[in-house]
A and B are shown apart, each in its own frame.
Chain A
Amino acid sequence: MRGWDQHEGHAVALPIENIDTDQLIPARFMSTPRSEGYGRFLLHDLREGAQDFPLDRHPEASVLVARRNFGSGSSREAAVYALVDAGFRVVIAPSFGDIFAGNAVNNGLLPAALPEDMVDQMIRSLGDGAAPVRVDLEAGLIRMGGAEHRFDLDPTWGLKLRNGWDDIDLTAQHSDAIAQFAERRATRFPWAWPGAKRSV
């Protein structure tokens, strides 16, 4: 995965609360191999029923502004694949489902949490349209329509997004510490291994 520092694109509003992972990608699409692309599944059932859905009106959009509790629900990372494959790099909302947010960062998608009143203001100013937006990861700033909004980002998430780091590589640096820990644990708490303790 490639990291990124700055993103310039267009923002579009989806002013709905609790966009859960089942809406982001309905379960029936989840047996598809990722190589086939998940973009067409994004919000599939919501889009299909609606006329003039904001995302369909602005296919170029790469920043999504939504309401509270975005990505709540299941651990399905496919919800993030759908957003990423549809071209999104940033989701702005007052709050996110915990697992979704972690999954997003692991796929280069920024979950930017902004105070509710700022999100409201953005949603109002966007209306049905799309507007240019600039996101600066290092400074933690979103610039849209002349206004500047600061967002808080877990510093580790910031590093991962900027460097495109993969956790497995990071953890591999600590393989000795892991092996020692496992050995200590197996000695002190042998019951923590199923059946008889086997070597790790």
Chain B
Amino acid sequence: MIAPQTLLDKLWKAHEIRRDAEGVSLLWVDRHLVHEGSHHAFARLKERGQRVYAPELTFAVVDHYAPTRNRDTIAAPDIRRMIDTLDGNAQTHGLEIFGLRDPRQGIVHVVGPEQGLTLPGLLINCGDSHTSTHGAFGALGFGIGATQVAHVLATQTIPQRKPRAMRITIDGRLAPGVSAKDVALGWIARLGTSGATGHAIEYAGSAVRALSMEGRMTLCNLSIEGGARFGMVAPDETTFAYLKGRPYAPGGAAWDAAVDDWRGLVTDAEARFDREVRLDAAEIAPTVTWGTAPDQALPIDGTVPDPAGLPDAEAAKVRAALDYMGLAPGRPIAGTPVDQVFLGSCTNARIEDLRAAAAVLAGRQAKVPGLVSPGSMIVRKQAEDEGLDRIFIEAGLDWVASGCSLCVGMNGDLVAPGKRCASSTNRNFRGRQGRGARTHLMSPVMVAAAAVTGTLCDARPLLKDRAA
């Protein structure tokens, strides 16, 4: 009898070419996604005089430096050079590229699933830590550094030690106005930014099953912020329905064979995890971050921590974060005025996220400026077909092209020093959105609510009698 296996066990075994005496596996990589930041890796490949091993499994996407405005006249030479370099490398090695002018361009973790490049049962690597997003399909998706990107380019394999298995089970129903983003910020606040270090997380439970693919991607995307490199959800009918007919997904008889194989990608009933965490969906409230790490988060009706009364080391950390964020201790987080909003990033800029935000914004005016950057140009087109762009524009927000934009501040979009931004992104690190920028992470509806009121606030009253 075969011992019961977790989804992780099955995926790992399916990709393991060999394991060395020290227990490190050499894994086959099914999809390798590269972006402008991969230039160090291509340079290394060139130094070694090597070619890309499997160009048909390697896809290039322009996102990190993609301008969200005036794409035809990129003024900054650095940005132009980064994009040209990727174009050049794609051409040299014969890679398909979703370039700046391609109608399919977008953020790498949005484009992959959207094109059907991301499938259950695959191993997907990309030089970006939020590659964990792709695990939402029941795949192994993890971010790698430049040296490893060069390794995958040269060999189509990745040496990796198998992580420990962790399961986060979320049962029950999420309340209206509460989304996958709140679930993620909630568990990270509870376990800490290194709470899942060394583990691969499988998300399970009725609340996860009820999530759309968009929601599952948000959940898996944020796994890295709790220290895990992998987030996974076992594939099911929701997964198959999302993928069917996507450009690179298998078609015809190959589709049926694939679905047959994919149905086996579930954790066996008796399988053991190294760690189990359980959450009650009904207890999860809209959540915002108050500090400079993703675990410094609280429910929107909560109060900012007071360092007085905390142990020394903890107090110093809280004080430093409050100081940077310009927040007073012990005060309610709701009502904090914001200077601007950002709706975008691979965490929360898919069509469902835009719809949810638009539900709050429809017929209302934003009190502060803001940027809406869809996850891909296809999402952008779909939103325009649905008339969502009108809602954002009439509310007073800027409707721009797709890219990483204010998630990482590489393309020229920046939050000015000391300014406070309500953001649907994934990192509230110091300086992430620009030097001295103050970032509060939250869900798309909460970003929209912050735009409408000019403050951090509970989106739920604004959603009354509206479908989000």
Contacts and interface: CB of A to CB of B under 8 A. Distances in A.
Contacts of B90: none
A173 B430 CA distance: 43
Q: Give the residue among B43, B50, B159 with the most A Cβ atoms within 10 A.
A: B159
Contact of A178 (B48, B157, B257, B435): B157
Interface string A78-102: 1010000000000000010111101
A177 B257 contact: no
B72 to A, nearest CB: 20
Given A99-B144, A102-B148, A23 B430 contact: yes
B420 interface: no
B254 A77 contact: no
Contact of B193 (A26, A72, A159, A177): A72
B435 A26 contact: yes
Interface in A167-185: 167-168, 170-172, 174-175, 177-178, 181-182, 185
Interface string B215-253: 000000000000101000000000000000000101000
B147 A167 contact: yes
What bracket does the count of chain B residues touching chain A fall in? 35 or more
Contacts of A18: 193, 292-293
Interface in B335-366: none
A77 B147 contact: yes
A161 B165 CA distance: 28
Interface in A83-135: 95, 97-100, 102-103, 106-107
A156 interface: yes
A102 B17 CA distance: 20
B261 to A, nearest CB: 7
B147 A75 contact: no
Interface in B64-98: 65, 78-79, 81-82
A27 B145 contact: no
Contacts of A74: 128-129, 143, 408, 427
Contact of A69 (B122, B131, B148, B227): B227
B148 A106 contact: yes
Contacts of A80: 145
B429 A174 contact: no
Interface string B293-319: 100000000000000000000000100
A163 B408 CA distance: 36
A193 B117 CA distance: 9
Interface in A142-200: 154-156, 159, 167-168, 170-172, 174-175, 177-178, 181-182, 185, 189-195, 198, 200
Nearest to B291: A18
A10 interface: no
A194 B26 contact: no
A45 B128 CA distance: 22
A113 B48 CA distance: 33
A74 B40 CA distance: 15
B148 A191 contact: no
B54 interface: yes
B155 A185 contact: no
Contact of A99 (B24, B145, B257): B145
Given A98-B227, A106-B145, A155-B22, A189 B121 contact: yes
Nearest to B127: A75
Given A31-B82, A174-B18, A98 B155 contact: no
B143 A156 contact: no
Interface of B: 17-18, 20, 22, 24, 26, 28, 30-31, 37, 40, 43, 48, 50, 53-54, 56-57, 65, 78-79, 81-82, 116-117, 119, 121-122, 127-129, 131, 143-148, 150-151, 154-157, 159, 161, 193-194, 197-198, 227, 229, 248, 250, 254-255, 257-258, 261, 292-293, 317, 320, 408-410, 427, 429-432, 435-436
Given A16-B320, A45-B436, A98-B227, 8 more contacts: A18-B293, A23-B429, A23-B431, A31-B82, A73-B429, A75-B131, A172-B155, A194-B57
21 contacts: A18-B293, A22-B427, A27-B409, A28-B409, A28-B410, A30-B37, A31-B65, A72-B293, A74-B128, A74-B427, A75-B127, A76-B145, A77-B40, A78-B146, A103-B148, A107-B147, A168-B50, A172-B155, A178-B155, A181-B17, A200-B156
8 smallest beta-carbon distances between A and B, as pairs: A103-B145, A191-B258, A106-B147, A77-B145, A77-B146, A191-B250, A75-B143, A22-B429
Interface of A: 16-18, 20, 22-23, 26-28, 30-31, 34, 45-46, 68-69, 72-78, 80, 95, 97-100, 102-103, 106-107, 154-156, 159, 167-168, 170-172, 174-175, 177-178, 181-182, 185, 189-195, 198, 200
